[in-house]
Structure 1
Amino acid sequence: MPDYLQEHLADDAFNAGTLFEADVIEIESQQPDLIVIGGRSSALYEDLSEIAPTVDLSLRGSYLENLERNATFLGEVLGAEEEAAAAVAEVTDGIEEARAATADAGTGLGLMVSGGELSALAPAGNGSDARGARGGLIYDAFGVEPVVEDIEAATHGEPVSFEFLLETNPDHLWVVDRDAATGEEGAQAASAVLDNEIVRKTTAYANDQIVYLDPTAWYIVFGGIETTQIMIDDVLQIAD
């Protein structure tokens, strides 16, 4: 449970397994009226549907459309339609504010750091899976202009070198520390990995425009109201 959602954890919450492997016996013993899954747990749909009606709220297409759809659905289920509508309106305004900030911010590159290695994040193409949609959020949802037209083609996939950062030289680097998100023990922090002579020559470093995004929000639990507000606040750092 992310720290910022701990206060919402019910006193009678139970361990339902992992995102990839549900504890079907324990879930069935709870006799749920509805099971909600999404993202990494969507592969469990068939097994869980045998226990109770199951709804898959995985990200498909436009982030904002998904957010509105899912919040509206949950508002109806919980009898909180007005609260859901108000929450969606608030984050919609926040996303628009963030997009206004990025519109004049020049180019950007989304970067994931893990195990001391770098991976470039690219805008999600048509028909992209959830993984691609997640990686493209900084561009697709928040309007950052990619530093090159086709990042995936330019990187020959995803892994990139420090020299790639200098060659493309984006105005902003938007960094997700994957090891921090997954709790990798003994991992080097992304800020330490990027603290080297090559990165110091980039425009983003020179202008103090390397933005470290909340790793839990951007990598693990993106898609909800509170998580989206954290993402908005991250992007609006460039407006401070």
Structure 2
Amino acid sequence: MKKTFSSLITGLIATFCLLSAQAGEIQVENFAGRQSVPQNPKRVVVLDFGALDSIRELGAKDSVIALAKGRIPEYLSEFAQDKYKNAGTLPEPDFEAINALEPDLIIASARQQKVLNRLKEIAPVFYIDNDFSDYYRSFAANVRALGQIFAKEDIARQKLAELDTLVEGLQAQTKGKNALVTLVNESRISAFGDNSRYALVYQKFGFTPIDPGLSASTHGNSIGFEYIAEKNPDYLLVIDRTAAITEKANNAQKVLDNALIKQTEAAKQNHIVYLNASNWYLAFGGLQSMKIMVDELQSAVKK
């Protein structure tokens, strides 16, 4: 009888602990689907700069204990401090270091997609995912989900409303203007259309795509100087991947410094815009980085 009573008490305690743990979890939804995550985590490892950006904007940076420290964008430089531990790089997380930190939550994104199961063995994971065919909507869903996770839902709504107002102002300025988004990687050039990772330039920011026929591709469509000269966009928007991930500054400017590009209207009108490579390539998808992107384009169309 004593053994039965003892077993009953043990079972009740286990049930209580389980219910308590479940009570601390919430369901959030983004393009990746519904995810069960802990609410108000106190020890968070962040493997996505856009998420790190948004967490800071939501007023929850004190929960961050570690991040991927390779090539931190300038506007996130405060996270280079020693009090934030190094969790490896975006493509190669340091699993041993992350495990030793005993996080409550790990925030991951597409660059860690292949190692998600390994991360989930360490702690619950919130996976940031985006719909490139409707990027801005999926970005907003990620921000709202982070607002739920950190109990900052009102701030998330406010920040998104403020950003919507800025975007509307940009749309008024870009109306009737066409553009081509390009990414320069060493000497190679890729073009991105209105169904790509940079589709929001057309779909949300208001530029008309110079080539609606570009295929949907995460890595863009390979092009040459002749293509740019033939399409002759009003605005040539350039993301220098090489500058974003290496010490080679102004690589894209050197690549595009040739006679064919100089003949384009974009060159003649000073409308070749070299975008902030770190923000557009590494920190893509954060509240502040999105504002920086809008500001960059507003400055470009005012020229």
- Specify the code of the residue in structure 1 equivalent to 2:280: W
* Cα distance in structure 2, aligned partners of 1:200 and 1:37: 41
The residue aligned with 2:38 is: none
Find 1:161's aligned residue among 216, 224, 242.
Answer: 224
Cα RMSD of the aligned pairs, angstroms, is 2.1
Matches within 5 A, 1:45-56: 45-56=116-127
TM-superposed deviation, 1:145: 0.9
What are structure 1's unaligned runs of at least 5 residues?
125-131
Matches within 5 A, 1:106-121: 107-121=178-192
Cα deviation, 1:202-233, whole Å, max 9, x if unaligned, reads 11111111111111111111101011011101
* Cα distance in structure 2, aligned partners of 1:228 and 1:27: 28
* Cα distance in structure 2, aligned partners of 1:22 and 1:200: 42
The residue aligned with 1:31 is: 102
* Cα distance in structure 1, aligned partners of 2:139 and 2:169: 17
Q: How many residues align?
A: 227
Identity of aligned residues (%): 34
Matches within 5 A, 1:61-140: 61=132, 62-105=134-177, 107-124=178-195, 132-133=196-197, 135-140=198-203
- Specify the code of the residue in structure 2 equivalent to 1:228: M
- Specify the code of the residue in structure 2 equivalent to 1:110: V
Kindly name which structure, 1 or 2, has the bigger radius of gyration based on alpha carbons.
2
- Is it true that 1:220 corresponds to 2:282 in the alignment? yes
The residue aligned with 1:229 is: 291
Deviating 4+ runs (over 3 angstroms):
8-11
Structure number having the greater strand percentage: 2
SS in 1 for 2:138: helix
Find 2:204's aligned residue among 130, 136, 141.
Answer: 141
Cα deviation, 1:112-142, whole Å, max 9, x if unaligned, reads 1222232212222xxxxxxx42x43322332
Contact kept, 8 Å, 1:64 with 1:92, in 2: the verdict is no
SS in 2 for 1:32: coil
- Is it true that 1:198 corresponds to 2:260 in the alignment? yes
Contact kept, 8 Å, 1:38 with 1:59, in 2: the verdict is no
SS in 2 for 1:173: strand
**TM-score, normalization: structure 1?**
0.86
The residue aligned with 2:128 is: 57
